[in-house]
A = this chain, B = another copy of it.
Amino acid sequence: MEVFERSFEENIEILQKLLKGNRMTRFRTEYLALHSYDQAKIFLAFEEEYREKVYQYLSPSELANVFDSVETEQHEYMDVYFEEMNNTYAAAVLGDMYADNAVDILNNLSDRERVNIYMHLMKPASAREISQLINYLDDTAGSIMTTEFVSVQEGEDLKSAYQHLKNVASSAETIYYVYVVDDNKRLVGVISLRDLILNEDSKLIRDIMNTRVIAVQVNDDQEEVAKMVMDYNLLALPVVGFDQELLGIITVDDIIDVIQEEADSDYSGLAAVNVNEEHETPFGAAKSRLPWLITLLFLGLGTASLISQYEEVIATASVLSSFVTLITGTAGNAGTQSLAVAVRKLANKSEEDNFFNSLTFELLTGVFTAIIVGATIAVVAGLWKQNFILGFVIGIAMAAAIIVANLAGALIPKLMTRLGFDPAVASGPFISTLSDLTSVLIYFSIASLFLEQLTY
């Protein structure tokens, strides 16, 4: 339930009418009354002709407020808007945005020359903040932090700290945590606004600050940062450099975006499709799925070619073909389970886990699973086809296929991490297609040994 009167569609219609009719004052009244998130949604829905008017009707700081509410995933598509503005206006908008958002957009501009132009045209103070952030590696604390935080010196008293807070409150991303630094700008403590309010004005900061500050380093991975915010229920997390100097903060709303991003990435990886992309046409959707499908098709041709080698075996004992998909399918399922668990574990562990311990654990898990499933199918197949050698062959092949698939699902993500890739790229379909190959090899090799007993 939202205590707003109109729907999204109604708002767009009304605002577009006002823009078309050059009703600047009325447009500003209506548009600026909305929550900035809704302003952003509406802006993204405007066609170019309407956007041109918006650039004339809104000041740079008003548009900056709208752009600050655009979701992070959309930043890479905002290039086109800045191309539509004159450079001075564009630079002013970027300068008025929160530095972390401006940096994200600038990093995505295709024309690097324009980045320089904007940096020269914007207020020097904004340019300085942006240039501090613009060089950090993607997906590190430095790349998602903002420099708009509040800090005070440890020698100040609460009264002056409070006054300082009021002065900077309108430009800081959050004023609910106040960070305490020493003369060398090193982070030495933190006070919450709650503490500030509840204590007497005359007290000194160093007396009531919390010296056990939870912080991250500027090159820490964003997944670790997210975990820390989640574990400690923080609204913001300070980021320090290599000399413990306070460089920026990461706010909880940005962390929520990181968590969602990582979750989408893991989920997409498991299914070999990017679940974030929304496609206008079925053709576009099909295009996005084809790369993996075609790749796995050719990988699967390897399995087809392998089965080909055993065509005579199959011609001799065609009962074997009934169980091919059962073995490849079940091994694939086991491999997918193992993969999902392994990728999640890799995401959760901060410190280097003992590799051989976890390898042994996965191996044994696979062995137990294999024994139960293998025994089950051995009995069922043997009874069904009235041939216990067949049951035995199916059972052994199934068990071996499951063990191999389990190991693949557990090892390949780890291998990818060591090679520097995101383990979530090792998708479920990749693991199961790979395990099809090994399952078929195991199955027909074993079956060949018992061929006589399997011929009817």
Contact = CB atoms under 8 A, between A and B. Distances in A.
Interface of A: 1-4, 33-35, 37, 69, 71, 165-166, 169-170, 175-176, 187, 193-194, 197-198, 211-217, 220, 229-233, 235, 240, 252-253, 255-257, 259-260, 263-264, 266-268, 270-273, 275, 282-283, 285-287, 289-290, 292-294, 296-297, 300-301, 303-305, 307-308, 311-312, 314-315, 318-319, 321-326, 328-330, 332-334, 336-337, 339-341, 344, 361-369, 372-373, 376-377, 380, 428-429, 432-433, 436, 440
Given A1-B217, A293-B333, A305-B322, 17 more contacts: A4-B212, A37-B231, A69-B233, A193-B193, A267-B267, A267-B340, A270-B271, A271-B340, A286-B372, A293-B337, A296-B330, A297-B330, A301-B380, A314-B314, A329-B433, A333-B432, A336-B429
* The 7 residue pairs across chains A and B that have the minimum distance between CB atoms: A271-B340, A282-B364, A286-B368, A263-B263, A273-B337, A233-B253, A333-B429
A319 to B, nearest CB: 7
Contact of A213 (B3, B34, B339): B3
A2 B215 contact: yes
A262 B216 CA distance: 27
Nearest to A299: B329
Contacts of A216: 1
A326 B300 contact: yes
Contacts of A257: 230
A187 B1 CA distance: 12
Contact of A369 (B170, B240, B271, B290): B290
Contact of A321 (B283, B311, B436): B311
B266 A334 contact: no
A321 B303 contact: no
A16 B325 CA distance: 55
Given A198-B169, A340-B267, A325 B328 contact: yes
17 contacts: A1-B217, A3-B187, A3-B211, A3-B214, A71-B231, A176-B176, A256-B256, A270-B271, A285-B365, A286-B372, A292-B337, A304-B322, A304-B326, A314-B318, A324-B324, A325-B328, A329-B436
A47 to B, nearest CB: 23
A321 B324 contact: yes
A3 B329 contact: no
Contacts of A337: 271-273, 289, 292-293, 429
Given A194-B169, A232-B37, A368-B282, A304 B323 contact: yes
Nearest to A284: B365
A285 B433 contact: no
Tell me the number of copies of this protein: 2
Nearest to A285: B365
A46 to B, nearest CB: 19
Contacts of A329: 296, 300, 303, 328, 332, 432-433, 436
A193 B214 CA distance: 23
Given A267-B344, A275-B340, A325 B296 contact: no
A436 B287 CA distance: 24
Contacts of A334: 289, 293
A328 B4 CA distance: 51
A256 B272 contact: no
Nearest to A167: B198
A175 to B, nearest CB: 6
A6 B55 CA distance: 55
A79 B193 CA distance: 35
B326 A282 contact: no
Nearest to A297: B330
Contacts of A318: 311-312, 314-315, 318
Nearest to A170: B198
Nearest to A334: B293
Contact of A325 (B170, B232, B303, B368): B303
Contact of A286 (B35, B283, B365, B433): B365
